[in-house]
């Protein structure tokens, strides 16, 4: 049985969301093409991480060693290349993150396998691998196919696939010893310096109410914030709101902001430029409120309200509060 490798990304003992997203996509491919899902976990004291993904993979290959405590692409490359040579997986999925953008190119050189980066969809058409990517800042979607190869390497964009569990699995745990006699170190880890995430991390929210240029004036944003609070959700925005310095950058959704995967996304006064839609492809249910019936946001929305947001938002807030109090 062919395999799909998923390289587990974790930091400071916590699994990064991209890992769950890749495991979901690997699970989809497994259901469609009878592949096995194998998670590759490198680190130190990673038993809790293995436990957290044990119902999402058929096998977890673990390298647990003090020398793997911190990510190093030179070491990861050699270990994963050895596994690829041994197991010959059809696909190896890596997050299109700071980790992946360093690891994937050197792994492609090391294995000789073709690499496609920043993929937003994966499909096998007539037995031929095809991936979808975006070009020119998201203006064009391109479908990329490959010449025949024993295996392929893909980096996956964060926020485009679900984080949910797919299928019923109980992983076989395979533990391996650190295989390298000499560590191929060209760099040395010093410390983690986390970028400021702001007061909230919209990429983790289950319900988001997002405001766009249709709000008119900065003081009107409070109206949308009240709706978000009533729904126990978080507030986000489109780029024009950030450009006007009405809300901070960490609340921006879109190609130049964050990709989000909430269960519910409510777009208030957002026209739906492709840059914004690019950031909500992983949303569960999209609800749009806009007085322009031709706004592009309605093409992406599951439900749409064509009306003045200054009438609809207070009405929705009132109904939500009535329901919660009743």
Residues 124, 212, single domain; the answer is no
Q: Is residue 195 part of a domain?
A: no
Residues 90, 228, single domain; the answer is no
Q: Is residue 196 part of a domain?
A: no
* CATH code for position 32: 3.40.50.620
Query: Given 176, 211, 245, which residue is the final one in a domain?
Result: 176
Residues 24, 171, single domain; the answer is yes
Residues 120, 220, single domain; the answer is no
Q: What confidence tens digit (pLDDT) does each residue in 108-138 have?
A: 999 999 999 999 999 987 778 999 998 876 6
Q: What percent of the chain is modeled with pLDDT above 70?
A: 96
Residues 130, 206, single domain; the answer is no
pLDDT of residue 188: 78
Distance CA 208, CA 56 (A): 27
Query: Given 140, 160, 176, which residue is the final one in a domain?
Result: 176
Check pLDDT > 80 for residue 192: no
Both tokens assigned to 17: 């969301």
Residues 154, 212, single domain; the answer is no
Q: Is residue 187 part of a domain?
A: no
DSSP secondary structure letter of residue 253:
B
Check pLDDT > 60 for residue 143: yes
Q: Is residue 142 part of a domain?
A: yes
Which position has the higher pLDDT, 311 or 135?
311
What number of other Cβ atoms are within 10 A of residue 147's Cβ?
A: 6
Both tokens assigned to 209: 């109410």
pLDDT of residue 194: 67
Residues 34, 86, single domain; the answer is yes
Both tokens assigned to 5: 């490798």
Residues 239, 107, single domain; the answer is no
Distance CA 257, CA 246 (A): 15
User: Within the chain, what is the greatest distance between any pair of CA atoms?
Assistant: 69
Q: Is residue 257 part of a domain?
A: yes
Which position has the higher pLDDT, 26 or 278?
26
Residues 299, 162, single domain; the answer is no
Tell me if 207 sits within 8 A of 233, measured CB to CB.
Answer: yes
Residues 231, 165, single domain; the answer is no
Q: Is residue 301 part of a domain?
A: yes
What number of other Cβ atoms are within 10 A of residue 231's Cβ?
A: 18
Residues 166, 206, single domain; the answer is no
pLDDT of residue 211: 97
Check pLDDT > 80 for residue 147: yes
Q: Is residue 188 part of a domain?
A: no
pLDDT of residue 196: 59
Question: Highest-confidence range of 135-139, 197-201, 202-206, 317-321, by mean pLDDT?
Answer: 317-321
Q: What percent of the chain is modeled with pLDDT above 90?
A: 71
Q: Is residue 306 part of a domain?
A: yes
Distance CA 163, CA 176 (A): 27
Query: Given 158, 176, 194, which residue is the final one in a domain?
Result: 176
Domain enclosing residue 34, as ranges = 3-176
Check pLDDT > 70 for residue 195: no
pLDDT mean across residues, the chain: 91
**What is the count of structural domains for the chain?**
2
Residue range 172-195: mean pLDDT, rounded: 82
Residues sharing a CB contact under 8 Å with residue 23, sequence separation 6 or more, in sequence order: 6, 37, 39, 53, 56, 57, 166
Q: What confidence tens digit (pLDDT) does each residue in 14-44 have?
A: 999 999 999 999 999 999 888 999 999 999 9
Residues 211, 144, single domain; the answer is no
What distance lies between CA 24 and its chain's CA centroid? 11
Q: What's the sign of the alpha-carbon dihedral 38, 39, 44, 47?
A: negative
* CATH code for position 236: 3.40.50.1220
Residue range 159-179: mean pLDDT, rounded: 90
pLDDT of residue 308: 96
Q: What confidence tens digit (pLDDT) does each residue in 210-257 have?
A: 999 999 999 999 999 999 999 999 999 999 999 999 999 999 998 778
């Amino acid at each position: 049985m062919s395999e799909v490798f998923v390289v587990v990304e974790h930091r400071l003992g916590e699994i990064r969301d991209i890992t769950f997203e890749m495991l979901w996509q690997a699970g989809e491919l497994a259901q469609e093409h009878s592949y096995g899902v194998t998670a590759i976990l490198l680190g130190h004291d990673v038993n809790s991480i293995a436990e957290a993904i044990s119902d999402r993979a058929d096998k977890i290959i673990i390298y647990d060693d003090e020398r793997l405590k911190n990510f190093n692409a030179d070491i990861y490359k050699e270990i994963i290349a050895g596994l690829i040579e041994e197991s010959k997986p059809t696909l190896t999925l890596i997050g299109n993150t700071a980790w992946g953008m360093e690891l994937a190119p050197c792994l492609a050189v090391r294995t000789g396998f073709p690499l496609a980066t920043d993929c937003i969809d994966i499909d096998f058409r007539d037995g031929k691998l095809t991936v979808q990517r975006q070009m020119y800042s998201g203006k064009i979607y391109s479908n990329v196919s490959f010449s025949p190869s024993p295996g392929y390497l893909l980096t996956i964009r964060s926020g485009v696939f679900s984080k949910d569990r797919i299928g019923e699995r109980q992983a076989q745990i395979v533990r391996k010893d650190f295989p390298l006699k000499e560590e191929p170190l060209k760099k040395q880890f010093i410390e983690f310096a986390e970028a400021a995430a702001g007061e909230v991390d919209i990429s983790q929210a289950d319900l988001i109410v997002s405001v766009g240029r249709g709000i008119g004036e900065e003081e009107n944003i409070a109206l949308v914030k009240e709706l978000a609070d009533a729904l126990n959700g978080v507030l986000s925005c489109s780029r024009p709101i950030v450009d006007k310095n009405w809300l901070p950058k960490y609340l921006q959704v879109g190609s130049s902001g964050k990709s989000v995967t909430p269960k519910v996304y409510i777009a208030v006064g957002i026209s739906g430029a492709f840059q914004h839609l690019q950031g909500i492809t992983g949303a569960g249910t999209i609800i749009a409120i806009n007085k322009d019936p031709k706004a592009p946001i309605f093409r992406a929305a599951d439900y749409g309200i064509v009306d003045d947001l200054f009438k609809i938002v207070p009405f929705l807030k009132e109904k939500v509060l009535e329901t919660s109090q009743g």
